[in-house]
A and B are shown apart, each in its own frame.
Chain A
Amino acid sequence: EVQLVESGGGLVQPGQSLRLSCTASGFIFGDYYVNWVRQAPGKGLEWVGFLRRKTYRGTAEYAASVKGRFTISRDDSKSIGYLQMNSLKSEDTAVYYCTRLDYGRNYFDGWGQGTPVTVSS
C-alpha cells in the first residue's frame, strides 16, 4: 500500500524558512518523482513543484509563485522527500501535500494527509 506522510509544518514569521518532509513507504521511492501540491485555506489546489528521479536527470521544476524560494530534494536511501521553503510570505500559508508522480505519467496517484504551514507575524 502506497503511504506518504508529511511532517514539519507549523507557524513561522514572514521571511523565515521551514523544511517539510515526506516519508514514503509501500513502493520504490527512488523510481518516482517527489511532488508537492498546496492548498490555501478555503481555496483550491496549487501545484508547487517536483523533483525528477535521479535516473532521469534528477532536476526540478517549480511553479512561478515559488521559484527561487522553494527547493525540493530527496534522500532515496531513507525514502524521504523534502521541501525547503525560504523567504516565506503570508500567501504561502496552506496545507502542503506530498504526492506520488511517476515518470511519464501526468497525474498524482498517491497523496499524503498534508501538513499545515502558517506564515504570520
Chain B
Amino acid sequence: AQKITQTQPGMFVQEKEAVTLDCTYDTSDQSYGLFWYKQPSSGEMIFLIYQGSYDEQNATEGRYSLNFQKARKSANLVISASQLGDSAMYFCAMREGPQAGTALIFGKGTTLSVSS
C-alpha cells in the first residue's frame, strides 16, 4: 500500500483563486511529520510547510496552509491567492517515527498550473 497518496495528477487554477491539493497518508506510527515541497521545472525542491502529528493547530506559512485532519489521515495543502509563479509540481511527504534522521517518503505529486 502506498504511504502517501496524491490523487490529483494535475490541477488548474486561475490567478488570485485559492486551490487545494490533496494528500492522504498511511502510517501506524503515532509520531510522524508531514511536509509539502514545491518543485519547479528547474528541479530544485523548495520546502513549503510542515505539520507534526502532535500539532493541534493547522500549520500556516504565508499563502500556504495545511488542512490537517488526523482521523482521516489527510494533510491537504491550501494555496490562497494563486500566482503565476506557483505553477510547479507539488509533493506531499511523510517522515515516519520520532527520529528526525529518517528519510522522507514522497507521494507521486500534483502538477499545478496557474493561468492569468
| Real binding pair | no
Residues of B bordering A, CB below 8 Å: none
Residues of A bordering B, CB below 8 Å: none
